[in-house]
Amino acid sequence: MNYRNLTLVIVALAILPGLVSAQNHDWPSYGGDNGSTKYSPLDQITATNVDRLGVVWTWDSVDNATVATNIAQGNSTLVPGGYKGTPLVIDGVMYASTSFGRVVALNAADGTQLWSFDTQAWASGRPANLGFNTRSPAYWEGGAKKRLFFATNDSYLWSIDAETGRADTEFGIEGRVDLTQGLRREVDRNQYGVVSPPLVSNNKVIVNSIVNDGPGSLEMPPGDVRAFDPETGAVEWIFHTIPQPGEFGNETWEDNSWEYTGNTNVWTIMSADDELGIVYLPVGTPTNDWYGGKRPGDNLFAESLVALDVHTGERIWHFQTVHHGLWDYDLPAAPTVIDITVDGRAIKAVAAISKQGYTYVFDRVSGEPVWPIIEQPVPQSSVPGESVSPTQPVPSKPAPFESQGITDETLIDFSPELRQQALQLIEQYDYGPLFTPPSLRGTIVHPGWGGGGEWHGAAFDPDTGLYYIPSASAPILVQLREATRGREEMGYVRGGPLGVAGPNGLPLIKPPYGRITAIDLNTGDHAWMVPHGEGPRQQIIDAGILDPGPVGGNSRTGPVLTPTLLFVAQQDNERSLIRAFDKANGAIIAEIELPLPPSGTPMTYMVEGKQYISIAVGGGTDAKLVTLGLVN
């Protein structure tokens, strides 16, 4: 196309903003694009017609019959929880994975099943850590080949022909690569697997892993990240998340703890700037989550955002968000690739949300923070053998999107009596500001390991620079005990009660207990915050307290964003909903009932001129994909 014709196209798009609505529009990766913006330019569904959204088709998971058989046979461990997948749509075909590790193709217009492929991952038994769940396959085209890459709970990477639904026998061995092979030490398949989609970028298939968070020993599987050739399955590169001798950061694992420490894996979703050729890894927590006496030092690249060269796997830059982590504060979601303008300067940036409620924003090329991140002193540990980092990095901007720590500012205060009861309840434990370390007495950690932010992630609006973050508030209790029963080498492990109840069965902290926050990433300022859902509002009223209004609930999915609306789903008490919010102020414009509780992040696409929104709901013997469109 010459420049004159290109200019005409741009002018036409400017004059006819609805032109995109006349075309098919895909959702080719988990986050809508490899930058995980969760944004689509589709504008057919608007604030004026969103109340006409209704279910136009559903697909019952092919897992349902297998789960029912397992239950009938007394195999209660072979039952998945919530269905967490987010489907892809390419050229009118929807591709989805199931909790048991099957991959299906559906007609995206009506849900008709075109084919189903069974990896048999479920037959290996209950997988490590999170149970049966998968998030999505990944799509690749090369020459005449169209492939789906799918990594399973039982540690295989499959290549599936997207047109036929058959394994690509030229890939690996009969269509699959064994992911337990080629790591730094022998790996127990019961302790290691994959739940998140591979990342396909620049002709590389990049795969991460989950590792059991309840370790039975110091030596757990390593969380190394690998890239594979999409045609052959050959390993292209490997990145050691725990640096080996001679590699940058090895000295941060003191007393040779790099030799045996495991985990430090990228369990959640990865992202990439395909044009720059940079992959962004949100790296997780090392063994064990709560006690670091057996891994002294800062422990790079645990709990770090790491930027790699997609072609070589070499580190370009990194930033460690938690030094020597003791709180399971790994980065939980895919970093978001964004373009912003700060103080008149255009910046190619990347933003990462955290469980503790921070948003870290960096120049995605250089790794320089967009706003200063300041090392601040934190409380020290009383646990024998523990050596806490004296400081932790705290962003100066944006401000936290969640309450942090247990202080007068965070405790429940509906009445002086409730506040006094809450103070009495917590006095038996240790508590304080964010980064108060676990203790033998027990430490109240807030936010807990469920966030703050979580794996569902955030969404970015390229037109306004607003960043939308669903989050939740839920303190946990971390009490350390001396390890026993063959785990003595670990020193201390978590034990005892897992939480602290508030007074009269109410929450320990102030609301909101779930919220959606919009942050202007051009300024670093919060634009608005709203409670997400009713939450325990009625329970509070029943306790004789003046109606506080919606107080928000912990249930949430990831967002999906369009030029007109923000969509987030939730199980709000007895109601299963997807809500449409006004992007400018967080006002609820519409609530659309779902047949079952939502667990997957929604997505949107267009086929034959009609826009749809699809979401995974239910679980166990009744998991479904529900697809909404304009009706009536």
Label residue 6 by pLDDT band (50, 70, 90). very low
How large a percentage of the chain has pLDDT more than 70? 97
CA distance 447 to 550: 20
Is the distance from CB of 601 to CB of 38 less than 8 angstroms? yes
Is the distance from CB of 502 to CB of 422 less than 8 angstroms? yes
Is the distance from CB of 303 to CB of 284 less than 8 angstroms? yes
Label residue 19 by pLDDT band (50, 70, 90). very low
What are the C-alpha distances in Å from 180 to residues 117, 193, 210, 554?
22, 8, 12, 35
Average pLDDT, the chain: 94
Provide DSSP, 99-142.
TTSEEEEEETTT--EEEEEE--GGGG-SPTTT-S-----EEEEE
Residue tagged 């059991």 (tokens): 212
Label residue 216 by pLDDT band (50, 70, 90). confident
Label residue 2 by pLDDT band (50, 70, 90). very low
CA distance 296 to 291: 10
- Which 8-state DSSP code applies to residue 220? P
pLDDT of residue 193: 96
The tokens of 502 are what? 């508030």
CA distance 57 to 51: 17
Compute how many other C-beta atoms are within 10 angstroms of the C-beta atom of residue 420: 12
CA neighbor of 61 nearest in space, from 628, 627, 629, 616:
616
Is the distance from CB of 443 to CB of 431 less than 8 angstroms? yes
The tokens of 64 are what? 């349902």
What are the C-alpha distances in Å from 93 to residues 34, 114, 212, 568?
19, 9, 35, 24
Q: What is the pLDDT of residues 427-444, one digit of tens each?
A: 999 999 999 999 999 999
pLDDT of residue 130: 79
Provide DSSP, 254-272.
GGGGGGTB-B----S--EE
Burial status of residue 387 (CB atoms within 10 A of its CB: 0-12, 13-18, 19 or more): middle
Q: Which residues pair with 102 in a beta bridge?
A: 118
DSSP reduced 3-state for 251: helix
Angle at 130 between CA 619 and CA 329, to 5 degrees: 125
pLDDT of residue 13: 38
CA distance 454 to 402: 12
Amino acid present at 333: A
Is the distance from CB of 274 to CB of 316 less than 8 angstroms? no
Q: What is the pLDDT of residues 532-566, one digit of tens each?
A: 999 999 999 999 999 999 999 999 999 999 999 99
CA distance 599 to 617: 6
pLDDT of residue 501: 87
Residue tagged 């469920």 (tokens): 450
- Which 8-state DSSP code applies to residue 405? S
Burial status of residue 314 (CB atoms within 10 A of its CB: 0-12, 13-18, 19 or more): exposed
Note the maximum CA span of the chain: 75
For the CA atoms of 533, 536, 542, 546, what is the dihedral angle to 10 degrees? -60
Q: Is the pLDDT of residue 9 over 60?
A: no
Q: What is the pLDDT of residues 49-68, one digit of tens each?
A: 999 999 999 999 999 999 99
pLDDT of residue 17: 41
pLDDT of residue 18: 41
CA neighbor of 567 nearest in space, from 612, 524, 501, 513:
612
Q: Whole-angstrom distance between the N-terminal and C-terminal Cα of the chain?
A: 41
Q: What is the pLDDT of residues 155-176, one digit of tens each?
A: 999 999 999 999 999 999 999 9
Region 617-628: what's the mean pLDDT? Answer: 98
* Cis peptide bond upstream of 535, omega within 30: no
The tokens of 262 are what? 């495991």
Region 218-230: what's the mean pLDDT? Answer: 97
pLDDT of residue 519: 98
Region 297-317: what's the mean pLDDT? Answer: 98
Q: Is the pLDDT of residue 324 over 70?
A: yes
Domain annotation for the chain: domains and CATH numbers: 18-630 (2.140.10.10)
What are the C-alpha distances in Å from 43 to residues 46, 233, 385, 566, 628?
6, 39, 58, 12, 15
The tokens of 589 are what? 């414009």
Least confident of 167-181, 211-225, 353-367: 211-225
Alpha carbon 318 to its chain centroid, in Å, reads 19
